[in-house]
Chains A and B, each alone.
Chain A
Amino acid sequence: MSALRPGLVPADDAAARSFAGIMAILAFLAALAAAAAVSLSATAADWGAALAQEVTLQVLPRTGRDLEQDVARAAALARATSGVASATVLSRRETDSLLEPWFGQGLDIGDLPAPRLVVVRLGAARSADLTGLREKLVTELPFARLDDHSGWIASLVGSARVLVWGAFALVVLVMGAALLATTFATRGALAANRRTVEVLHWVGADDRFIARAFAFRFARLGLAGSAVGGLAAACVAAAIIPAIRATDAGLRDGGSLTGVSLVGWTGLASIAVVVVALALASGLASHSSVSRLLRDSRRT
């Protein structure tokens, strides 16, 4: 290809800026949605993995029984179960600290009949005999309850998946909008450059050559616009991470409950994919549109 090719279709600065601006906005929306989709998808997978790694024993206080002994017995039963790596009894203070967000600090929680907790970590093989543990608890400590978190984690994972599909749907819609925007912009450019197209035909250019010239121009404009939009999306994602983490800090120590990390490598890769995909879509839509219009113009 000659170096002349990029400039064959004259640049209409105002129209080109408008098109690049539209592509920047579309890329911004699609890039954020794609990054969120990738991140949420990874988070949902993490939650699924967490489901298989940890369960909790709740031991309720009963009148006439020694709660500390019951808790120790529950922990011992857990440790004796095959596939269990460890069973850690949360102290009274640790249990109280979990309740503080709901009851505040002014109340003496020690007077409440709060359950005590045993955190049970499962082995790497993930083949713990939880059914056997449940049966033992029913026999020896019927007021203890085994919570494998499956209910609420499954609900969270389900919600996350809905959000992931929603984000992908948004990306698809934005791509569709980009195709339509390119088609309209190409029609305008073709009409504005009718004389150029005519001269190209006179000097021996075929329709494919002309379509490629338009496609090249719109792919470049699309790439320029979507790169700006993608960069803006990456900056916004980077800016909102600390806010999300700060919000989550109160819910779980040491990190984000949602696990949202929009600017990880996968997030950045998804933004890059969106930018390149929009540029390619612009070029292809322009090529298709010009080919069709030139073919139709010969029929009339």
Chain B
Amino acid sequence: MNAVVVGEPVVAFDGVGMRFGRGPEILRDVSFAIEPRSFQFLTGPSGAGKTTLLRLVLAALRPTRGHIRLFGQGASRISGGALTDVRRRTGIVFQDFRLLDHLSVYQNVALPLVVRGRDEAGYRAEVIELLQWVGLGGQLDRLPPILSGGEKQRVAIARALIARPELILADEPTGNVDPHLAERLLHLFIELNRLGTSVVIATHDLALMDQVEARRLILSDGLLFVDEGAS
């Protein structure tokens, strides 16, 4: 696995602007950095551009202006192989889960390891352990269409975590679970952060954010404000 250069942010935005077509700018002059081993919330009202910003971090979109660096590489020059490398170093939890409906819970979670060419004998126990931890140990063979929203969300989180990425981007990861499970999942992210993973949780759940003293990236009207918090 490629290591982040010491002192080099995992993600760095410099004066980034983004608009779709001839529409208004969704993001304006956004500058921030996500340091290695850091933990932050990305928040703001609905439609403020949180998902757009996350897609820029994933290099799924190209900014209309400004510069983005991902793991030390300029995002505008990222080629196929380097892009794959960035995505392998990043775990993403989508707001709409993006599970593959024809694969079982177990297969969905194992997917990041399968695409890395790992042998099933080497990861099976690991996948089952993680699924047990998120409370889905008894549903390994079930297909996503028959899972509840909360169960799908936990599968999506497990899939993002299984390959131990250097950066986790989670878009409303606790939006469909009860408060008790939300707290458990939050502590899972905190534990991963302690182990060295940078975490970005996009949410507008104030109660969730109040549970952790962490930096807050606040999007409002296309501008980004950084509240460093107490951490």
Contacts and interface: CB of A to CB of B under 8 A. Distances in A.
Interface in B149-165: 159, 163
Interface in B98-132: 98-103, 107, 110-112, 114-116, 118-120
30 contacts: A2-B110, A2-B119, A4-B110, A4-B114, A4-B120, A7-B102, A7-B107, A10-B100, A10-B102, A11-B102, A195-B98, A196-B100, A198-B98, A200-B111, A200-B115, A201-B87, A202-B58, A203-B87, A204-B84, A204-B88, A204-B112, A204-B115, A204-B116, A204-B163, A205-B115, A206-B80, A206-B81, A207-B80, A295-B80, A298-B80
B10 interface: no
A151 to B, nearest CB: 66
B46 to A, nearest CB: 23
The 3 A-B pairs at the shortest CB distance, nearest first, are namely A204-B88, A205-B115, A10-B102
Nearest to A3: B120
Given A10-B101, A202-B94, A206-B81, 16 more contacts: A2-B110, A3-B120, A4-B111, A8-B103, A8-B114, A196-B100, A199-B98, A199-B100, A199-B111, A201-B87, A202-B92, A203-B111, A203-B159, A203-B163, A204-B87, A206-B115
A101 B94 CA distance: 85
Interface of B: 58, 80-81, 84, 87-88, 92, 94, 98-103, 107, 110-112, 114-116, 118-120, 159, 163
B171 to A, nearest CB: 12
B120 A202 contact: no
Contacts of A200: 111, 115
Interface in A188-228: 195-196, 198-207, 209
A5 interface: yes
A209 B115 contact: yes
Contact of B120 (A2, A196, A295): A2
Contacts of A11: 102
Nearest to A205: B115
Contacts of A207: 80
Interface residues of A, number: 23
B100 A5 contact: no
A114 B102 CA distance: 81
Interface string A73-97: 0000000000000000000000000
Decide if the interface of chain A is mainly helix, strand, loop or mixed. Answer: helix
A10 B102 CA distance: 6
B3 to A, nearest CB: 17
Contacts of B107: 4, 7
Contacts of B101: 10
Given A202-B87, A298-B80, A5 B92 contact: no
Nearest to B91: A203
Interface string A1-40: 0111101101100000000000000000000000000000
Nearest to B113: A2
A198 B98 CA distance: 9
Contacts of A5: 114
Nearest to B123: A2
Q: Which of B84, B98, B114 has the most CB of A within 10 A?
A: B114
Nearest to A206: B84
Contact of B112 (A3, A8, A198, A203): A203
A215 B111 CA distance: 18
Contacts of A3: 120
A10 B111 CA distance: 14
A203 B112 CA distance: 5
Nearest to A11: B102
Nearest to B103: A7
Nearest to A199: B98
B107 to A, nearest CB: 5
